[in-house]
Structure 1
Amino acid sequence: MVSSLLPRAPYLASSIPKSTASTPLRRPPCMSSTSAVPAAASAAAATGEASQPRKLPVLLFDVMDTVVRDPFYNHIPAFFQFSTSLSVWLGSLCSPNRMSMKELLESKHPTAWSEFEMGLIDENELAKKFFNDGRSFDLEGLKASMVKAYEYIDGVEDILFHLKQNDYEVHAFTNYPVWYQLVEEKLKLSKYLSWTFCSCTVGKRKPSPDFYLHAVDHLHVDPANCIFIDDRMTNIEAALGVGMVGLHFKNAEMLKKDLCSLGVEFAPVHEGEIQVQ
């Protein structure tokens, strides 16, 4: 029995006990496999049609460092090159004189990126505010270096593929600016999930409870029927605080085991079926 899934209780993915012959894993009472969609049910009542069942749970995925490798920690410090002029910073992917993460964190504006993530400023304003001292840099070069670095985390695309095959409702739930469109252009995440909850379009960021409650309201679903997956425990705790189920992402193998232990079904890959690359 998965006793660690009680809402509001601190929960780590690795804490799920393994199934045994005498104590098989069971779906928590709150996580029924199907449910009528309230909005659809209302529409059906108006037209006299039978409502369609909704497959539960709904899955909410963080994107950066859960589905896609975040370039910020390894590639962005390497991008900024110190030139001979103290007032000018040039973009480079191959310069030996690279900024360290410590230097980047100390020199960047404390709120500019979060403002950009929430859609409060556009990328031109970001370029003006990115550094505390207002130094300029190659914005287009920065975007290009990020696009080059975007890639699926090993094994996660396969999980998304099987969730899609099994008709689960999957949504992005991410703190990211309008540049999420660059991620989509390169990796085509929309094959597997909807970009429904991006901080730049909703105007809220994790771990604000309002962001999670907005998702619940938008989806017309009980929070206990939402599984939220994120690599940051702070965000998991916020999800638990509103009654969602939380999974702390560490790697794809553990995530698949954890989802299976919650009763999430994975469609088998039939002979001849095309594998994701």
Structure 2
Amino acid sequence: MVSLLPRAPYLASIPKSTSSSSSALRPLCMSTTSAAAPTAAAAPAEAAPSRQRKLPVLLFDVMDTVVRDPFYHHIPAFFQMSMKELLESKHPTAWSEFEMGLIDENELAKKFFNDGRSFDLEGLKTCMVRAYEYVDGVEDILCNLKQNNYEVHAFTNYPVWYQLVEEKLKLSKYLSWTFCSCTIGKRKPSPDFYLHAVHHLNIDPASCIFIDDRMANIEAAFSVGMIGLHFTNAEVLKKDLCSLGVEFEHVHQGQMQVQ
């Protein structure tokens, strides 16, 4: 059984009287204003020995955490259906197969609906691109994390259309599209996806903060020893990150380090 107690290097500098507190050490899944705030220290970066790797590393879900998901409102409207009608008529696994890169968009178009009906695929993509926008307040958080030199990665269930999100919103200004289900071939909440991220980053899982709007995905992060934050809105997220010692001091643009 994997321990849920953080063992992260960035917690190593906490005095024993604080680090022994269970409230300070347990993984978080909600606002935690009462928890002791660990101090973020640095650990050696494997890729660049002359520099230090700033911890924690942050993994962000994308849809409905960073970017508004068009699925619940815009896509039913595009098909002129209610959500209930759409869920009843769409193929049960086609989208998840597309998310994992098992089928391409042409195959998706063929099997999106159970009855095989055709639809305007390019029109659907245009509808989705039009709907993509940042969740209120989250871009400011990402910008501040970037300015304070934190390592931030997408950790998302999404098909190759993540490239459409990038073209519209330029998320790569703030994070790396490192962990997308379509390129990794795994989906949340499979623990294998989380373990892949830990191994790829070569990091203790408790040095990762994972942010997602779905509790099932947060619980999967707990199962491999990550710290998890359940996203509800940007204000709560910022408070939760601060409670974990993440720095939000303003950095002038001229002071921002190019990574």
Same fold, TM exceeding 0.5? yes
Identity %: 79
SS at match of 2:58: strand
- State the match for 1:34 in structure 2: 42
- Alpha carbons 2:157, 2:181 under 8 Å: kept: yes
- State the match for 1:17 in structure 2: 33
- State the match for 1:155 in structure 2: 137
| 2:219 is equivalent to residue 208 of structure 1 | no
CA distance in 1, matches of 2:77, 2:230: 29
1:3 Cα deviation after fit: 4.0
CA distance in 2, matches of 1:179, 1:26: 38
Structure 2 length-normalised TM: 0.86
Structure of higher RCO (CA pairs closer than 8 Å, 6+ residues apart):
2
- State the match for 1:234 in structure 2: 216
- State the match for 1:87 in structure 2: none
| 2:72 is equivalent to residue 73 of structure 1 | yes
- Alpha carbons 2:37, 2:242 under 8 Å: kept: no
1:33 Cα deviation after fit: 1.9
Per-residue CA shift, 1:42-70, capped at 9, x if unaligned?
A: xxxxxxxxx42110000000000000000
| Superposition pairs of residues 236-251 of structure 1, within 5 angstroms | 236-251=218-233
- Alpha carbons 2:67, 2:133 under 8 Å: kept: yes
1:6 Cα deviation after fit: 4.2
SS at match of 1:60: strand
Identify unmatched segments of 5+ residues in structure 2.
1-17
1:4 Cα deviation after fit: 4.3
- Alpha carbons 1:70, 1:150 under 8 Å: kept: yes
- Alpha carbons 1:37, 1:220 under 8 Å: kept: no
Structure 1 length-normalised TM: 0.81
- State the match for 2:4 in structure 1: none
- Alpha carbons 2:147, 2:251 under 8 Å: kept: no
The partner residue of 1:223 within 205, 221, 236 is 205
| Superposition pairs of residues 55-134 of structure 1, within 5 angstroms | 55-80=54-79, 98-134=80-116
Identify unmatched segments of 5+ residues in structure 1.
20-24, 42-50, 81-97
The root-mean-square deviation of aligned C-alpha atoms, in Å, is: 2.0
CA distance in 1, matches of 2:83, 2:69: 14
- Which stretches of structure 1, 4 residues or longer, exceed 3 Å deviation after superposition? 1-7, 38-41, 269-273
- Alpha carbons 2:100, 2:184 under 8 Å: kept: yes
- Whichever residue aligns with residue 145 of structure 1, its letter is C
Number of equivalences: 236
Per-residue CA shift, 1:100-148, capped at 9, x if unaligned?
A: 0000000000000000000000000000010001000000000000000
